[in-house]
Structure formats: structure tokens, C-alpha cells
Structure 1
Amino acid sequence: MTSRVTPHVLRVLRTPVGACAVALVAAVLILAVLAPPLWSVDANAVDTSQILQGASTQHWMGTDRLGRDIFFRVLVATRLSVQLAALATAIGVVAGLLLGTAPLLLGTRWGRPVTAVVNVAVAFPGLLLALFFAVIFGVGSTGAVLAIGLASAPGCARLTHALISGIAGRDFIAAARVAGVGRVRVVLRHVLPNIGEPLIVNATIMAGTSLLAFAGLSFLGLGVQAPDYDWGRMLGDGLSAIYVHPFAALAPGVAVVMAGLAFNLFGEALARAVGLDARTAAVSRGARTPLPAAPPSDKSPAVRSSSDTVLCVENLHISVPGPCGLVTPVRGVSFALRRGEAVGVVGESGSGKSLTAMAIAQLVEEPGSVSADRLAFMGEDLQRLSPRSLRRLLGTSLAMVFQDPMTSFNPAQRVGRQLAEVAEVHQELDRAKALARAVDRLRAVRIPGPERRAGQYPHEFSGGMRQRAVIGMGLMGSPALIVADEPTTALDMTVQRQVLRLLAEVREADDVALLLISHDITVVEQNCDRVLVMYAGRIVEDLAAKDLRTQARHPYTQALLAAVPSMTMDRDQPLVSIPGSPFSPADVPGGCAFAPRCPLADEKCADAVPPPVDDGHGQLTACWHTDLTDRSDRPQTHRMQGVGETQ
């Protein structure tokens, strides 16, 4: 991060505004350190013969009501003014971080009231809030510091919440949660390092604002009290005689303006250096109101399970709030995975494949809701486990491989440290042993030079190496299930084949179950034992991968197969496509969802949802007209040799 920001900082420092800002801030800080020991005696010397004198060679800014030199008093007051402003800024930043991260630390249910309070507080002017808190905490420096700090906290909280919202859905956050990393650790290790730059910029600008606000409270008599003095108190003392002796008020007033300008200019220059407009970065997103969970609307047949079943899902429903009410994009999904078995899930975008995987990994949070008759992993009911037990189970026995390998890693941390975190949390290894374990896992997924690569950042890896490193992260524990959500979509064909072969080798070596989600039905056919075909949130067919080309009975499965191009197809003929388009989850029609696109559909299809029916050989098909499917009339499909195929 430092190497990326430094050139921009140097470039900004060369501009007139940047150089001026740095010079002003440096001058203020140097005065805050050196002025009291150098000029405190001159500033506090009382000379009744020089009361309210004007500017002269002896007293550059004149004297006050006790004959004390105003110029030296302004210089000495720099330390207390800057010190109190810094304390108020620190309080505001800490309180703002706690309030801004509350939804992530406490969860949506408990974090939402905190966000609502912050939104209300931001609506009030900062000075009005400072006056309100000053009355509560009382007159004096301590009360003013607390008042200004708490008054500035809502703005910092709003900015923090907005920044967190921008990265909370990233894959590396989800990966950390699947690995069982606690919420506090996620915030400290994965969230704050990625939003640190704008927060530093905001804190710099807050320092200037706090200095001005503190001067205002002292001017009103609510801040620093005699015998101490800061610029605001000096400004208040000199205001009564401003027409007779203007320097008594003018000198501290100029000091306040210059110091505030210095910090604000420095913050703006820093914002430009890191590519952030600090004036608009504090716009937050409104909190959403949770909606009640949707009750299951239909039932699926009981899932066949055995003693070696790793994952059992029965009648899974996932509901999320939509613009016009509750939406249920996953409706009654049921399936099971045995140890060492590879099951593929295919379907068009929006069919509910990835959302099903997120529910298994417990990544669906409020306002979304998950309900199921049974959702068991390794014999444990995921709906009933405590958060601590859930983190322990998923962190050691479930591995997630996401679609985009770049977003699967925290860009602010080295790859080795991210892998080692799993061992530190769950295996209680010290830092050195955890890192050694991470290097060993990188070597296991065939990353060359694992010792060197462990010390590199994710952007220094190629796409295929990042995806292999993600698999290595899953192997830090002893996974019983790997959920791979579109793991090869962002990769070229050669790397696709390498990644899929690696997943197959891991599965065979450790008897690990694999749930492979993909748009590519050919990839699933060649790398899985069973295929689940999803459409509009339901599983419409469940059959053996070896029977996919010859025994598929659902019209949608047949249409997917027919749409796969081949190397031997007639190039003069148009590509086969499925007519129409999938329905939005908020507007799924009654009856069979595929009926409007199906050539076999009739009135019964439009009126009633077909249940999954077992053909007696373990194949389940949800269609009213499987008996009308003539396999001899199917469009010819050909097996594509090479892409995603393991041999």
C-alpha cells in the first residue's frame, strides 16, 4: 500500500497547494512543540505599565489587560489548542469507527438501530451537537474535548459505514467468514486495512474542524478556563475591546484561521494523493428494513442419505426483500452429497445456484432469510449450532472457491498471511508454524516457489495461481466438502483445465466431496458424478453425469445440451438457443416455471408445479410430460473434448 501511495503523495507535494499545506501544518506542529519552552516566560510576564498597548517594536501585537505580550501568548497557546483538538479528533475517530462498524460487528439486527441513531445525528449541525454535549459534560477543557469528539463521531461513522458497505460483500470477506474468523478479527484484519486511506484523510480534515470548534467553545466560555488559555479564550477576552485594541482579537483569530486552513488543506491534498474526494466520500447508503422470512410453499421428496453423507439439504427456501415485497429465489431445493462424491449444479443466471451455495456456507445474512426442513453438514444441524460451533465446523471442514480469484483475497495482506490465519484461528498454531503450514499448502496446489510466493500480495499472482491459492486456503484445515462457485469462469481454457484437474486430485486424495457450480454443462458432465439442473430456484432434474447425454428427461436439460456448440456442427446453421428468457425471481409464474419456454407445455403445466419423480433408478425429474419426451427426436449434441475435461 505504501509503495502505491508514495508516488502520488510526492506528486501532490510538488503542487503549490500541497507544498503550502505541508508547510503550514509543519509550522503549526513545530510551534506547538517549541513555543511553550521558548516563550512561556515572556507570554506570562505581567507589566501593569504596558496595559492595552498597541503594536510596537517591543510588543509586535500589543499587550492585553494585564500588560502581557499578545504575540508570545498566541505562540504559546498553539500547544494547548492543537493538543485539545487532537484529543477531540481521536475521540471522534474511535467513536466513529465503533459506530460505523456496528452492523458488521453486531449483525444487521442489532447494528440497524445504531445506524439509525447515526443517521439522525448527522442531520444536526456539528456545532449544535457540540453545544448540546458541552452542557451535559460541563464547562472546562475536559467537557469541551468530549463534546467536540462525540459531535464529530456521527460524520466519521457515516463515512466508515459507507466504506464498509462497499467491501462487505467482497469474496475475501466471505472467505474469512467461512474460515471461521470472528467478526472482530474480520474488521481489524480484513476491513479496516482496505478503508484506512480515506479514514486517514477524513481524520486530518476532522482535526482542522475540531480546532475551529474548540476555539468556538472557548470563545463562548465553555472551553478552556483561566489560568489556562487557548486561541478561542484569547479571542473572547480581546473581543470586548476590539474597537480600541483590535490586535487583542485579531491575532488569535488569524492563528485559528491559519491553523484550521492548514489541516483542511493538508487533508484535501492527501485526498487528491490517494485518489479520493474527501468532500463527497461521506455519503452513506440507507439502511434497509428487514422483512419476515417466507414460509416454505412446497415440499420436496425426502433426500436419500446414508452414513457417509457429508451434506444433506431438504426443502431449502431462501427469501430476500424485493422492491415490491418478499422474493423467494430458491424454492424447495433438496439434495445430498456423500463423501468423495462430486455433484455439479448447472442452470442459467438467476436460477439460484450461487445463493444455494451461500446458504450452505451460512453467508446469507439479514434481511435475507434461510429456512429448511433439514440443513445438515457432517451430521450437524447448521440451523441450530451456536455461532462459535458454526465457525469451528465450517472453518475446518468446508472450503469455498469463489468465481473471481482476485476478489477472493484481501488485497492489503500477503497471501501467506491470509492462509496462515486459518491455522492460527482453528489449529491454534503460532505465527511461524501457521506460515509454514501455508507454504506447505501452496506447494500442495503446485504453486512454484511457495516460500517466495507466500510473501507476495494477491496482485502479484496470475489468475490461475490465485485460484490455486484459494484452493490451498481451503486445504489449510481438513475439508470434507469443497464448494466451488464458478471457479473457472474468469480463467482461460488451459488454466481452467489445470484448476479442475487440481480439484479432482484433491477430491480423490482426501475423499472430499465437491459441489461444483457452473454455467458450462460440459464442464460439469466431465468432472462430476451427478448433475443437478436448476431453473427458477428449483431443481428440475437430478441424474448421473454419465447419463446426461442419453437419459436426460426434462425439456430444460435437453435444451441446455442442445445449446452446447460442437466442433463438428454445420457452420451454416444458426446456433441452437432456448427461446424466451428466464423469469425474475420476483415474477415467477404459477405452475411449471419453464412452461412458457417449453414446447411440451399445456394447461396442466401452467396450473400446477410438477413434483420431482424418481424413475426407479435414482434419477429425479420434475416434469409432467417426461413420458412424451422422444429421445430420438432430440437435437444432436456432441461432447466437447478438452475444455474443462480431466483425464
Structure 2
Amino acid sequence: MHGRWSRVVRTPLGLTATVLVVAVLALACFGPVLWGSGADVVDTNDILAPPSGEHWAGTDNLGRDILLRVLVAARLSILLALIAIVIAVGAGLLLGSAPFVLGRRGGRLVTAAVNTAVAFPGLLLALFFAVIFGTGATGAVLAIGLAGAPSFARLTQTLVAGVAARDYVAAARIAGVGRVRVLFRHVLPNIAEPLVVNATIGAGNALLSFAGLSFIGLGVQAPAYDWGRLLYDGISAIYVNASAALAPGAAVLLAGLAFNLFGESVAKGLGVPVGIGLRAAATRTAAAKRPEPTSHDEHVGTSAPDVVLDVRDLEVTFPGPSGPVRLVRGVSFDVRRGEAVGIVGESGSGKSMTALAITRLIADHGRVDASRLDLLGNDLLAPDTAVRRRLLGTSLAMVFQDPMTSFNPTRRIGAQLAEVATHHQGMTRREAMARAVDRLTAVRIPDADSRVRQYPHEFSGGMRQRAMIGMGLMGEPALIVADEPTTALDVTVQQQVLDLLAAIRDADDVALVLISHDVTVVGEVCDRVLVMYAGRVVEDLPAAALATAARHPYTRALVEAVPDMATDLTKPLATIPGRPVSPADAPPGCAYAARCPLADARCRAEDPPLAAEPERHGSGRHRVACWHAGEPLPRVHETDDLVETVESL
């Protein structure tokens, strides 16, 4: 952090702006002390004198030195501007955080009010509030502060919405932490920098606005004076002594410029965007409703004693512009102790949504339905209780694909791991920190004693991912859900992470659900593979049969699209023609029909059920949703024929 702030003063502009701000603040502090008595001396023999060696900016209509009065007025001008900006930031924080705290219904009203206020020019709002609060310094401070609040409220809404979407906030919410506590502990610390930068720039604008109100007689009243009041007094004598108006005007200009330049320099040095963001969408808490039980496959019937996770008829629905959109449609499977189940499919197939539904991390406006969703025999769709939160916090571990968004960047790694133990297991801080060191050591992070005191950005990508796994191991998880845990990692680190997950699974008989785009990785790591397309499972087969006994055309296309050492480099790489189906535009019948070379009229009209296939070669249970399961695919040998086939599809 010190290095980032030091970058602010390394540029000529940053250094100049810093010097100017320090000079302005020093003048505000020491100006009245040094020149206060001289500024009030009245000399009726030297009224409205022009600039001279004795009075550099001349004198006013009572013979008082104008330059001294400008120097002394710095304190009141800057103090009132800073108070106004504090009011603006404070009110903006309250209004901008309201949608997050109040939820969707109450947040809509606040958002609508903020949007209406932002539509009016700030100066017009300041004049409106000045009329309400009356003339004088107090009324002007309140007017300028409240007039600046809508801009900071809009900025805060955008920043809060961005942080609220992070995984660590969702994890805190699902753990039962209240919205207000999440706001102060996780959200506000992560938006402090852009707020400080914009407040610095806002101070310069508030200074200019305050001078404007005093100039038109709505601000500071005699005998007190600020730069705006001096400008008001000097404008009447501008034809006699122009410096009477130029001196306070120049002071306002320089001070405002100093604050604005300093804010811009800080923004560039810290990489913080400046300005007002777009409106943050408010969210509403929706209770999940249980549907009536529906028929399901015999392989996912009554839970066996060793079943860790039992999912039947899982559906995830989000509101859309033309009605509800089903992102997950009737997914059913179970995971047993020590078993590794992989979920593969293209982007948008519903893999991550399935994982989020299992871990109860679906956004508030999403809806999760299932005839059964059990973890260790406990109903995850039951009303939220402390017992259920403890179950999710200790028996289930979620490994996200981007650990940088899963860790709070403003808190140390050790504190974030220890929080799991103190919140769910009742450990003291010392015991929880010792547990954190032990878990980091368990996931092969060297020098864990010192690493616990570091921040997430001080870890490499692979170390952050291992620390994320260590957080899941703070309890005693029976199930680990890993959502593409090797994304953006190099091949060596990917293998290390996968080896670590395999070692944890073998050591503690932990069940694993691994989500990945990589069919090869899933085939090597997992015992069973679920292939998803357009929100539903189209094939459930043993991993050993993935390369040789896959029955669904989509599964076979995924396998063939992965090159290996035997791939003929003289021929084009295999691809899947067309594009994945949008959940909002799912067609009738089989969703893969438009891309499938075996599709016929029945495929386009009837959606095939996920039915059991005869066991082949002792490979284990096998389910597939296809009217042409196992039929040979047309083979294309020449490049021109391949292009024509793709275009026809």
C-alpha cells in the first residue's frame, strides 16, 4: 500500500498537486495565526488604495489589507468545504448502501430517489437546499453537502454492487452473517479507495460551490468572511481596484485546482476509476419453494447410507425479460463417500449453476427447486437455521475458479481462514489461527507461520488456490465442490492442484464434485462423469468409459475435440458445429438437435429422457438422454466435405 501511494508523488503532476494541497492546508491552519490581527486593522486614511509595496493587493472600503484578508479567509473557506464534502460522502454512503441492506423492495425506492436527484444539476440542488435552510454558513454547508450526496450515492451503489457479487460476500451471507455486518466488514473496506479519491476531487468542487453561494449572498455573512464573501465585496470596486476581486478569485481557483489535481493524481497512481458509475441493480431475497416430487431415474432413488450428496430434479430459475429462464433443468445425481464426480460441458451448459445451487450460493433473485437436495441426509432446501449454516460451513467446501474474488483483498489470509473456525466451530482466535496454519501446511504452502499474515495479492495464483482449498478444510468437509479450480493456472500448477484434491480425497474419504471444461482432466481424476448441455444432464457414465464407450453424440464430440499425440496434424481439428443453445430460447425436443448429425424429426419434437443403458464390460451404471444413443456418427475425411457438412448443419 505504501508503494502504491508513493507512486502518486513520483510524477511531475502528482508532486505538484501534492505540494499545492499541502500549501493550501498549511495556509488554512496557520493563516489566521500569522496574519489574523493585521487583516482586521481598519485604516480610514487608506480606503480603496491600489496595490502598492505596503498593500500588495490594495485595501478595501475600510482600508483593510485585501491580501491579508484573503490569506486569513483560507481557514473558513476550506473548513466549510471539507465539512460539506463529509456530509455529501456520509449521506451518499447511507443512500448508496441502502439497496444492499434493505434488499430489492426497499432498495428500489432509494435507487429511484437517487436517480431522480442525479438528474438535476448540482448547483440547482444547492440553491434549492440553500433556500430551505436559509442564508448563512450553516445553511450553505448543508445545502452543498446534500446537493453532492446523490453523486456519491450513485457511485457507492455501483461500487457496492461490484463487491457484493464477489464470492467471499456470498459465502458470508450463506454463513448467516447479517447484511449490515457484511457491509461494514467486507464491502466498505473494499470501496474505500475510490471513495477517498472522489471525495478529494469533490472537496475542490465543494470549495467552488461554497464560494459561489457566498458570492450571491447565501453563504457566509458579515462580519465573518470567506473567499466568496471577499469576492462579493471586491466586485463592487472592481473598476477602482481590480485586485480586490482578482485576489480572492485566484485563491478559489488555485485551491480548487489543487484538490482536483491531487484527486486525479491519486486516481492514476492507485488505478482507481474516477466518476459516477452506472446504477447498481437492487436484489430481492426470494424463498426457495419445494415442488411436488416427480419421477426420477432408478439410480437416484432412495439414498444409500454412504451417499453424501443426493440431488433429484434440480432446477434453477432466474427472472428474464420474457419470463422465467431455467438455467438448470431436472438434474439428478448422487455422490458417495470417497467418490469423485466430474461435470463437463461447454460454457452456459449449467455446470456452475448446479454447483452454486448445491452450495446454496444462488443469488437472491434466483430460485432453486428440487424434489430432493440433501447433504449427509440434511435437507438443504429447508428454512435457514444455525444448524444448516454450521453444516454448510463445516461439511461442505467450495473451491471457486478465481480465488482472487473469493478472498477479501483487505484482510489477511490467516484471519479469513480463522474466521471459519471461530464462527462455525467456536474456537478462540488463537486456536483458530493455529488451525489456519495447520491447514495451510496441509495444502502444501511453505512457511505457513508467516504466510498467514500476508494478504491475498502476496500469494501466487497457485498458492491462492491452495489457500482456498485450505479454507474449505478448516472444518471436516464430507464434500468438496471444485468449480474449475485450475482456470488461469499454468499446466504445472494445474497438476499440483489436482494432485492435492486427489490426496485430500484419498486421505479423508472425501467426496468430490469437479467441474471443468477439460474432458481429459475429468476423465483422469474422476470416477464418474456427468455431461451437461443446455441445463440438463445428457449422459452419466463411468470415467473409464468416457473415451471408448460414450453413447451421446455430444459426449463423443467433446472427446473428439480434444487433440492427443495420435491426432493427424495434416487434417483440421475436430470441432462441434453451431453454437450452444441459449437457456432463454431452448427449443422443443432435444436441445442438441440443431448441432447433431443424427438428429431427425423425433429429436426436434420430443426431448429424450435420461434413461439407463445396459452395463457394458463391467463399466458401471450408465444413463443417456438420446433417441440415437450409440449409433455411428457420419465420418468426414476430406476438408471440403467437412466444411460442407458444417455449413449444412
TM-score between both structures, scaled by the size of structure 1: 0.85
Counterpart among 524, 537, 542 of residue 535 in structure 2:
537
**C-alpha distance 425-145 of structure 1, shift in aligned 2 (>3 A):** farther
Counterpart among 577, 586, 589 of residue 588 in structure 1:
586
1:384: Cα distance to partner?
4.3
Once the two structures are superposed, the pairs formed by residues 122-201 of structure 1 within 5 Å of their partners are: 122-174=118-170, 177=173, 182-201=178-197
Listed as ranges, the gaps of 5+ residues in structure 1 are 636-647
**C-alpha distance 111-536 of structure 1, shift in aligned 2 (>3 A):** same
1:291: Cα distance to partner?
14
Matched, 1:284 2:283: no
Match of 1:621 in 2: 624
**C-alpha distance 504-19 of structure 1, shift in aligned 2 (>3 A):** closer
Identity %: 64
Once the two structures are superposed, the pairs formed by residues 266-281 of structure 1 within 5 Å of their partners are: 266-276=262-272, 278=274, 281=275
Contact preservation (8 Å) 1:181, 1:425: no
Q: Distance in 1 between matches of 2:423 and 2:219?
A: 47
**C-alpha distance 356-103 of structure 1, shift in aligned 2 (>3 A):** farther
Contact preservation (8 Å) 1:329, 1:585: yes
Deviation per CA, 1:327-359, whole angstroms, max 9, x where unpaired? 322222222334443222112222110121122
Contact preservation (8 Å) 2:307, 2:335: yes
Matched, 1:301 2:296: yes
Contact preservation (8 Å) 1:411, 1:457: yes
**C-alpha distance 48-424 of structure 1, shift in aligned 2 (>3 A):** farther
**C-alpha distance 99-387 of structure 1, shift in aligned 2 (>3 A):** farther
Q: Distance in 1 between matches of 2:402 and 2:494?
A: 13
Deviation per CA, 1:28-70, whole angstroms, max 9, x where unpaired? 2111111222332233344555555554554444444444443
Counterpart among 91, 107, 113 of residue 117 in structure 1:
113
Match of 1:642 in 2: none
Counterpart among 197, 222, 229 of residue 233 in structure 1:
229
Matched, 1:85 2:81: yes
Match of 2:8 in 1: 9
Matched, 1:345 2:343: yes
Counterpart among 399, 402, 413 of residue 400 in structure 2:
402
Moved more, 199-208 or 526-535: 526-535
**C-alpha distance 241-342 of structure 1, shift in aligned 2 (>3 A):** same
1:324: Cα distance to partner?
6.0
Contact preservation (8 Å) 2:76, 2:226: yes
Q: Distance in 2 between matches of 1:458 and 1:292?
A: 33
Q: Distance in 1 between matches of 2:633 and 2:86?
A: 75
Matched, 1:101 2:100: no
Matched, 1:40 2:72: no
Match of 2:447 in 1: 449
Match of 1:526 in 2: 524
Matched, 1:504 2:502: yes
1:267: Cα distance to partner?
1.9
What is the RMSD computed on CA atoms of the aligned residues? Answer: 3.6
Match of 2:468 in 1: 470
Matched, 1:418 2:416: yes
Contact preservation (8 Å) 1:300, 1:333: no
**C-alpha distance 347-18 of structure 1, shift in aligned 2 (>3 A):** closer
1:261: Cα distance to partner?
1.8
1:444: Cα distance to partner?
0.9
Q: Distance in 2 between matches of 1:580 and 1:253?
A: 66
Partner of 1:101: helix, strand, or coil? helix
Instruction: Count residues in correspondence.
Output: 627
Contact preservation (8 Å) 1:442, 1:472: yes
Q: Distance in 2 between matches of 1:291 and 1:473?
A: 27
1:271: Cα distance to partner?
2.7
1:88: Cα distance to partner?
1.0
**C-alpha distance 110-40 of structure 1, shift in aligned 2 (>3 A):** same
Match of 1:319 in 2: 317
**C-alpha distance 72-410 of structure 1, shift in aligned 2 (>3 A):** same
Match of 2:204 in 1: 208
Matched, 1:72 2:75: no
Contact preservation (8 Å) 1:293, 1:319: no
Deviation per CA, 1:405-427, whole angstroms, max 9, x where unpaired? 44443444433333233334434
Match of 2:370 in 1: 372
Q: Distance in 1 between matches of 2:310 and 2:164?
A: 28
